Amino acid sequence: MRRVLLALAVAGVAYWAYIDLVVVKKVDEVAERSLRQDSFRDPVIEGMEARLYLNSLREKAGLPSFMGSGNLEKSAASHAAYLAKNRANGHNQSPSFPGFSGETPSDRAVGAGYPSRVVRENLSSGNIDFKDSVDGLFAAIYHRFGFLDSTMDEIGIAYAEDSSGRRIYVYDMGSYGVAGLCREDERFSRGKYLIGVCAEREKRISAARFEKVLDINRRQSPKIILWPYDGQEDVPPAFFEEIPDPLPEYSVSGYPISIIFNGYYFKRVKVVSFRLYSSSGSEEIPVRLMDAVSDPNLLLKKNQFAVFPLKRLEYGTGYTATVHYIADGKAGTKEWSFKTRSFDNDILEVEGSEATFGVVPGKSYVLYLKPHGPNDTLKKVLHPRGTAVEKIDANTLLLKISEDIDEPFVVEAGGRRVTLQPQIGG
């Protein structure tokens, strides 16, 4: 029986919030290229569907929807084209490279006709489609906060493909209210003011009016913004890599939980404790709580809190989270629940170094290689020719058993040896 080696490639994902961030996302490059070719679609239509999908997530978190912006779409498209043309990554451009349209996201937005410099850019590459891109950015804690920023309410989305077939997705976000202030002809002359907000850098904007327009969306948003949101299902069970890395000593941990205390309702907040329990038992899941002080990269704001389960969560399992906090001198408690992803296929869970399972030819199975430690992720997979293998995440594979298999075969991955025995007529 001939065997094939599947190497698991690496692609990058990044988010701009006036800082450069990169997320490392592992993908099956061969399967990804095939899916891209099969699913190539009109970029305008796919961009509209991306905004609908992103808005569906924001709405479930209780946030206002993003409106479309032609100027921001133009700036996003220019940067996606630049990255594709130069086979580059990141958020800054160089005037010495072809396709230059502005050094920073704010410069490009202004160049595309957007009146405000208050712009955030979300960027990913190596994803199969927009949904995969958005989901990947939500899994990365520093990047997630950009999509969950209630003060951002308009967006431009675009993508481009480089010569290798790699897709680059760009999301440029802005505030409709702030853009409106910059469109006004009125010149501010008294009191506190801001500069550097508008396309015309020296234009003065009333500090009070600036906060007032941001408060419009804050007021319409929940007092506490949660992700996963209460009642959410199909939550990925794991978090892998991000640069800057919030968990540098871990390559795999549980899907991060984020808490944002809305600045319209809270001025000073301290999280006293956070607890996470599985619905299948009373055992508490060990977690690491990060705030603006304990964040190793000092990127979290004072109203943002991130919680990392120190082991990946289980598939198809309900979890309940409880946070105790003190806000503006008053104690409070918030409790909510969510459920992790499940599959229609049978799950073959491997805990040790070797395992044997019976399988039915022609069926598909999820092979979950439970990590032995905080850095146990799959790098390559050896499997028999004729059995298709797709990567679900860095510990989980989808096996499509050939109908012609009639003798035992072995899959080797992550130092594990899994023997699969065909059950004819089973």
Q: What is the pLDDT of residues 201-252, one digit of tens each?
A: 999 999 999 999 999 999 999 999 999 999 999 999 999 988 789 999 999 9
**pLDDT, mean of residues 294-305:** 96
- Confidence class for position 71, pLDDT limits 50, 70, 90: very high
Domains 223-341 and 347-422 share a fold: yes
Residue 30, pLDDT > 90, answer: no
- Confidence class for position 406, pLDDT limits 50, 70, 90: confident
- Confidence class for position 41, pLDDT limits 50, 70, 90: low
pLDDT of residue 38: 46
| CATH architecture type of domain 347-422 | Sandwich (2.60)
pLDDT greater at residue 81 or residue 15 = 81
CATH number of 223-341: 2.60.40.3780
How far apart (Å, rounded) are the C-alpha atoms in residues 104 and 92?
A: 5
pLDDT of residue 1: 46
**pLDDT, mean of residues 246-274:** 97
pLDDT of residue 312: 96
40-221 under CATH 3.40.33.10, yes or no: yes
pLDDT of residue 40: 53
Domains of the chain, residue spans: 40-221, 223-341, 347-422
pLDDT of residue 404: 87
Residue 12, pLDDT > 60, answer: no
pLDDT of residue 3: 47
Residue 25, pLDDT > 70, answer: no
| Maximum average pLDDT range among 233-247, 354-368, 399-413 | 354-368
pLDDT of residue 383: 86
- Residues 149-193 have pLDDT tens digits of 999 999 999 999 999 999 999 999 999 999 999 999 877 667 899
pLDDT of residue 425: 63
pLDDT of residue 385: 78
